[in-house]
Amino acid sequence: MTVAWLYCRDETQTYSFGASKLTSEEARRIGKAISRIPEFLMQRQGFYPRGNGPRLRSDRPYHVALQDTYIRAHWDEIDALCRLNSLPLNATGEVIQSDGVWRVYEFTWQMDAILFWDRFEGRWLRGTEFHYPERPANLPSLKPLENWPKFNPRDTR
């Protein structure tokens, strides 16, 4: 999720004309301060790392499963939204057979996984079982796609 854009002048520019610009060191310090705001560091309650799973990687501990039929019907929209919002779309290759076929995606950051889970109606994974945490009240929404057709359930019949 992009929180802020910080612009600075090049190291080769000794003077800036017009509006004053930050040096790269000042921009780096401001960016570091923004990233340390407590709300951004806070872990969301109820959304735990997967723990143990057949394809668990320690650097990507958060796993979300999407139903295979949903993925096939909405792949273009899923791919476009993830690119627009800078959400990584890393499939583990794991398939879960439980009330249908589910495909698993892994995430490094908890907030990326929560946004993906919320937007695409996925299932949160703890171990090998689905976990149903409550949606946080202050969860931001993803940037919407411009000129994208709205989903109509009648079109699936």
What pLDDT score was predicted for residue 35?
A: 75
* DSSP symbol at 57: B
In this prediction the pTM is 0.67
Token pair 């699936």 is found at 156
What pLDDT score was predicted for residue 137?
A: 82
Alpha carbon distance 68, 120 (integer Å): 12
User: Position 33: which residue type?
Assistant: A
What pLDDT score was predicted for residue 5?
A: 82
Q: What is the mean pLDDT of the chain?
A: 81
Total Cβ atoms within 10 A of residue 74: 15
H or E segment to which residue 33 belongs:
helix 24-35
Which ranges in 47-154 belong to alpha helices (H)? 68-84, 110-119
Alpha carbon distance 53, 57 (integer Å): 9
